Structure 1
């Protein structure tokens, strides 16, 4: 039953499906950033065209991931919905600002949800990650508090970059800066994980 409920997929394939669309967006933007396309009598710059291609690619890779694993996290589902909505608005209205606002809304929403849980004395992060990362409640509360502040910081940074810098600077920030920041955050929490982590019980031979 367990194998049926949770299908296994190699880490390389999973990473390709999750990060592939982002890498494709970056490469597509670099190649088409100075191009202008006339479609149906309306001019679209390279950013809008790449955004239009990114949406179905994101839907396709997420669908493949779901077919291979049998499940999607709430974060993955929310990300796809926001990409579709705000990316679609950017393409429909020919206005790149909507797509650039997407990270701000995602991080602000995550911070609000986790903050609401903290207000109730709970860690919603534990609900999402508790099975794969067993840890004492005190540890989850510490990580969740820090993550709320971190998400707020990322939301503010995204607003500063897309409003104050060029589109190319924002694409680099979105592709490399935000990804590196998330990895760095969790790497710096290693002391909390080691202090409050719970080792799974060992089965008798």
Structure 2
């Protein structure tokens, strides 16, 4: 009999859904703030001299990125009384590496943040498969109903994709300018992720349980 991987059974409460457009805004908002602050850092400092205490544009962008991330997580919590695991983990890394970036005035830390986060997610997903757990089902179960084989395949592909993102980030920040890295982080990673996500739809359709009779 096919099995569906469900959310934590210890949590009896159904999590309320967020409007998809609002969810997208909460996820992309901090990145847009990061890009805008880095691109317009000097103008922002001219308008609000106090912002100059952060340092150069990348440090100002890092500080505002941390603030925007905190606001995003807070709004998500207020609306659903829960925090999605992936944004929460990413937020924690943002705060830790952002703080190191500002304290040491070294942008290497914030540039390494995507590498750390994506490597962590990839390791968790592939490590879960090693122990027989398709952990992606806990993240996407509210969006898709797949059989066990579908969750295993999708988890494996996303695990590899996270490692690809980690490698891509390392290549870009180590070989290109800071401005190019910021632009790639905001306007490159998202389209790549969307293309990858849509490329998985055939697999999702093949293993979807919604169109299959219960066994």
Q: Could you list the runs of 4 or more consecutive aligned residues of structure 1 that deviate by over 4 angstroms after TM superposition?
A: 33-39
Relative contact order: is structure 1 or structure 2 higher (C-alpha 8 Å, sep ≥ 6)? 2
Structure 1 residue aligned with 2:86: 75
Distance 1:33 1:146, change over 3 A: farther
Q: Secondary structure at the match of 2:197?
A: helix
Are 1:66 and 2:77 counterparts? yes
Q: 3-state SS of the aligned residue for 2:110?
A: helix
Superposed CA offset, 1:34-53 (max 9, x none): 998998x9782111012112
Question: Helix, strand or coil for the counterpart of 1:131?
Answer: coil
Q: Is 1:10 matched with 2:19?
A: yes
* Aligned equivalent of 2:119: 108
- The alignment's TM-score, normalised by the length of structure 1, stands at 0.87
Counterpart CA distance in 2 for 1:42 and 1:27 is: 18
- The one of 22, 30, 34 aligned to 1:25: 34
**1:83-122 maps to which residues of 2 (within 5 A)?**
83-122=94-133
Give the aligned CA root-mean-square deviation in angstroms.
2.4
Deviations 1:48-101 (A, max 9, x none): 012112112210121011101221111011011000000111011100000000
Q: Give 5+ residue unaligned stretches, structure 2.
A: 1-12
Name the structure 1 match of 2:66: 55
**TM-score for both structures, normalised by structure 2:** 0.84
Aligned pair count reads 198
Stretches of structure 1 that go unaligned for 5 or more consecutive residues are: none
